[in-house]
Structure 1
């Protein structure tokens, strides 16, 4: 009987101990689960970029690694290509932006009001001095992480310049003299400059490059007049006339209005064109066709007396954070991940451009030597990003096509520019 009573007592004690332990565990787990629930809360970031091809693949690969390292954050990555700008216009109008997005050269002038200030981020201290003016304002606001920085100018076939006994032109007059030599010595078989005019944007690229030495970079310039709306558009006539003169003198490819960008790359790769007014990426595009291509990068030739050559530059690959994001801390964490040296290096290398952070070395293949050679050459913002209202890019391109087709003359080109400039400025 005593043995039975002891057994019952032990059973009751065991149950009590078990219940106490369970109660203690529940209390502890409640606190722990609350904490874990907070730390394990799943967050989905919408991330969108304008870049395509290999460069987009690099960005997405880093995003996938970020998700592995941060399993509580899912990244909805989007690279819509040519539809990006129109998509972003719709999102700006509806005030429903991606958590993280690329600004494709317009962090301050177009997207500034939608972007959070990133100046307090740890990586901000490493911002390269040359890109800083493009992505910060006078108040110190930092709009985006610049993973690389554009440093664009014409590219040229080194072997052909040597064959024709030419040096890299520093002024536009020297460029025209070189173009004449190329036309003469090649019997018109080699284009001094190849432009894929059917795609329109390569024409806009030429105008965007050359407007700076004509109107901006010289000591006496029209920059302020363009900004305050007092610019005399007859002073723009020279630019479309320069463009038309190149065609009339036989310096452009004969099929300029039907050729595409891919045709420019092919001609450049095959030694049928000497200059390409595109940018460093053009060399890499051509090397896919001819891996042995020997090509170099040069600054944009000066036009005005006493001026010096310059590069066009500013932002290239960027991430900005929507200031009204519901996941702003996760978004900043995502951007900071790309600011790691190995990720900055991978992005910059994919574009063959200098990195946007100064603590990362340039790894741009053959182009590295040119960035180092021209380290002191001024880099000015792309003309349209500063001096033209949103929407003018298409005007540059379309009127360039029209003047080559003989539909308008230089004066009419400038008149069309003024009309659209005034209209678009009024709708800002």
Structure 2
């Protein structure tokens, strides 16, 4: 009996093997046809009607990341054969992407956080043939395209960052909008003294690292770049005298020494900055208008304003920093490149681009997309003629210097290094990374 059972089982297994073999042969034949018909050598699972998964990663955090996630969820509902593996790792994003670039294992779709051309350009597929390219706003085109016509990413909005402030705090202490850095420091001194330390003139989520870098990226332009006589050429050709950084490092150290920063600067996070603004515990934040939107989630009655970055050099004028903000690029080596492009195109729809731009309270990167920035619209109109310069590190520092700037800023105010050591570290890493880039 046992022999008969095993014999029967063996027959069943042989039959199943034959069926599976036939199915496998049939599927292979079907999978070849789409590639032969459309000339695409990299046929994807989607070509055969099967479900594919695309990896999507963004540097965006907070409420803005939730908006991107919500749009991605809607995309999956409308495209059931495409699953989106969405990731928003926050402060770990840049290091994660460096590892992935080194191993050539980038996500199918990823944000370029200001570095579409300079850092990620060689890894990105050219999107020039996508239908949405014709709808790109002229103002953002130079940041995401090149002279050869390559389109690197979809820009859903356009960065225009300055300083946000709590209007009630400024009114309480009779502070006028500062036009120069000296006036900004005078305002900080007034607020510190008259509030008895209860209000921090500047709030910085230093434990998140990047808010520290924001200070240097903001004020490097007025210190070194925006004035008529500037040091842009020296920074570009490598001849910059890094002892000049001593002044900059000292300016930042003074914020901490004089009590102008929140006492918990080294343990606070970015979310704490928005909370402090919402609760009237700080006057100024070194962020774009998106920080106001974050704060209004906590206090809808917040009265906040937006101003340019004050000048530093005598005779110069205030400026903004800007360029690309929220973007999606497609890896040129994606195994599901058509699905990835379809995902990006979904975000280019006016209604979706609008959601992203509104979440950041910024102008859209898509023409004809109306963005109601609420009270902020008044400021955008008021300052429409103010110069918008690229972020300092994106133009004048080699790839990798952002982390150096952030970490050394943290170390400076924690007492781990001196002003001189900060400058020396910047020079050392600047030269090393420039040399590596040439190789």
- Report the TM-score, using the length of structure 2 for normalisation: 0.83
Q: Is the 8 A contact 1:354 1:363 kept in 2?
A: no
Q: Secondary structure at the match of 2:298?
A: coil
2:246 and 2:257 map into 1 onto residues whose CA distance is 17
2:126 and 2:49 map into 1 onto residues whose CA distance is 25
Partner of 2:108: 99
Partner of 1:13: none
Match of 2:54 among 38, 46, 56: 46
1:404 counterpart = 2:419: no
Shift of 1:391: 2.3
1:272 counterpart = 2:281: yes
Q: Is the 8 A contact 1:244 1:404 kept in 2?
A: yes
Q: Is the 8 A contact 1:345 1:363 kept in 2?
A: no
Match of 1:221 among 208, 215, 230: 230
Select the structure of larger CA radius of gyration: 1
Partner of 2:67: 58
1:192 counterpart = 2:204: no
2:272 and 2:88 map into 1 onto residues whose CA distance is 25
Shift of 1:165: 1.9
Q: Deviations over 1:306-334 (max 9, x none)?
A: 22211111222111112233333333232
Q: Please, which moves more after superposition, 163-172 or 185-194?
A: 185-194
Shift of 1:168: 0.9
Gaps of 5+ in 2: 1-28, 38-44
2:407 and 2:95 map into 1 onto residues whose CA distance is 18
Q: Please, which moves more after superposition, 317-326 or 403-412?
A: 403-412
2:286 and 2:115 map into 1 onto residues whose CA distance is 22
1:78 and 1:195 map into 2 onto residues whose CA distance is 25
Change (3 A) 1:122 1:261: closer
Shift of 1:241: 1.2
Q: Secondary structure at the match of 1:110?
A: coil
1:127 counterpart = 2:139: no
Shift of 1:375: 2.0
Partner of 2:386: 377
Q: Please, which moves more after superposition, 140-149 or 117-126?
A: 117-126
- Report the TM-score, using the length of structure 1 for normalisation: 0.85
Shift of 1:72: 4.0
Q: Please, which moves more after superposition, 197-206 or 138-147?
A: 197-206
Partner of 2:20: none
Partner of 2:41: none
Q: Is the 8 A contact 2:398 2:430 kept in 1?
A: yes
Change (3 A) 1:138 1:224: farther
Q: Deviations over 1:9-35 (max 9, x none)?
A: xxxxxxxxxxxxxxxxxxxxx99xx78
Shift of 1:204: 1.5
